[in-house]
Amino acid sequence: MSEKNNTERLLKHLFDGGPWNVYEPNILNLGVGAPGTDLLESNCDNFRKATDHCLQREKTKNQSLIFQYGPTSGAYEVRHEIATYFSEMYENPVNSEDLIITTGATQGLHLVLSTLIDFQGFIFVDEFTYMIALDSMKHFTSLNIIPVKLNDDGVDLKDLEEKVSKRRFKSEKKEFWGIYYTIPTYHNPTGILFSPDICRGIVKLARKYDFLVVCDDVYTILHYDEKPTLSRLLAYDNRSDPDFVGSVISNGSFSKILGPGVRVGWLEVPARIKPILDGSGFANSGGCFNNYTAGIVRSLFELKLAQKQIDRFYEAYKERMLATTEVLRDELPQSCKLVSPTGGYFIWVRIPDHLDARKFLEYSMQEEKIFFIAGPRFSLDGESGKQFFRLSIAFYAKEKLVDGARRLCRALRNYIEKNPAGS
């Protein structure tokens, strides 16, 4: 076996194997958008109880059907638990019949891309967006990806309309000629919460030009300030509007609130789209994408263990975000800019225009052993956004984050001093 294969065989997690392993005690990897061990560890007891509960029922009352190919959308009872919980969290109804169980938002997006959009079509994305969603889109090499300007309150509607209106065509092959992909609630990487006006504007444009809006809603319930007016953009696509057709998909996941290894998520889709997804070979061939684990998650909710765990994650993230942004507000050099996010995982920092965050990253790694993700990783061309970087508050406990934020600010002060404008 080659050395490389041997290393691969020993990898234990996604962030393993490189010099910036997030579990390495001497470094601070602020690039990682995932919960750390201190949050994940109570899952061991909770999932053991839920598994016992679930399998007992399967044996005695359900003909062990959890091990059978599931119904394509997932068992009704699983969808019911998700719908009930998120209706309460969103303060807006989620209907079980609109849900399709997935193995997480990554797969939800992939299902949408492979079934709903004309392969000669267009995907509009925010100028800075979730970098791995971009990677997924690029696999569909005939699709055209078009970046759209992003402001502090969400996508620039004028730019979106201009770009959409120029490219619209009538697809003979698929339901949609175009998709706008975004993360409207606590955006990745910018932390932005799209304003109600922007959300309404997006829905209006989607109806006018009949494109599909796909929202990764993986941070929606992680609000650390007032709850947003409506937690997800889908709620702005009001069914009682006279021109309603169903233009928005909400792509949800338990990765950030129970654990990424669980690999359970759900798509919430309009009625006109559900049969297309349910009828696709990709969804149909395997039955429910994750029948077994989704059943365990159902028990986790029935035993009220999921609710408790989500509360714990939420409280920890909130504490981490507030503590980290407080340090940054006090200690970032004045020439840098930060809009403290009101929810989610990410803090987007702007450094002076003459600097390059990729170069500062090298300095920060060398001087302070702190890693983060420089802006260009989030742009389609891999070059734009050099004056930004993204920090994540998810992985480390508050004390480590506070110390890290102080050291990062110190590194940035020194770096700016060494590299004045015009030098």
Ligand X SMILES: Cc1ncc(COP(=O)(O)O)c(C=O)c1O
Question: Interface residues with ligand X (CB under 6 A)?
Answer: 33, 104-106, 130, 183, 188, 216, 218, 253, 255, 260, 265
Q: What is the largest CA-CA distance in the chain?
A: 75
In the complex, what is the shortest distance from the CB of residue 119 to ligand X, in angstroms, rounded to a whole number? 22
Residues 6+ apart with CB under 8 A from 80: 96
In the complex, what is the shortest distance from the CB of residue 346 to ligand X, in angstroms, rounded to a whole number? 8
**DSSP alpha helices (H): ranges in 91-240?**
105-115, 131-138, 157-167, 196-209
In the complex, what is the shortest distance from the CB of residue 83 to ligand X, in angstroms, rounded to a whole number? 18
In the complex, what is the shortest distance from the CB of residue 149 to ligand X, in angstroms, rounded to a whole number? 19
Residue 37 backbone dihedrals phi, psi, to 5 degrees: -55, -40
Would you say 260 or 287 has its CB closer to ligand X?
Answer: 260
- For residue 73 the two structure tokens come to 């959308």
In the complex, what is the shortest distance from the CB of residue 78 to ligand X, in angstroms, rounded to a whole number? 16
- With beta carbons less than 8 A apart as the criterion, state whether 156 and 196 touch: no
Which SS3 state, helix, strand or coil, does residue 165 take?
helix
Would you say 43 or 106 has its CB closer to ligand X?
Answer: 106
Would you say 65 or 145 has its CB closer to ligand X?
Answer: 145
Would you say 146 or 218 has its CB closer to ligand X?
Answer: 218
d(CA 329, CA 338) in angstroms, rounded, equals: 7
In the complex, what is the shortest distance from the CB of residue 317 to ligand X, in angstroms, rounded to a whole number? 13
Residues 6+ apart with CB under 8 A from 81: 297, 298, 301, 302
Find the Cα–Cα–Cα–Cα dihedral 290, 292, 295, 297, rounded to 10°: -70
Would you say 32 or 203 has its CB closer to ligand X?
Answer: 32
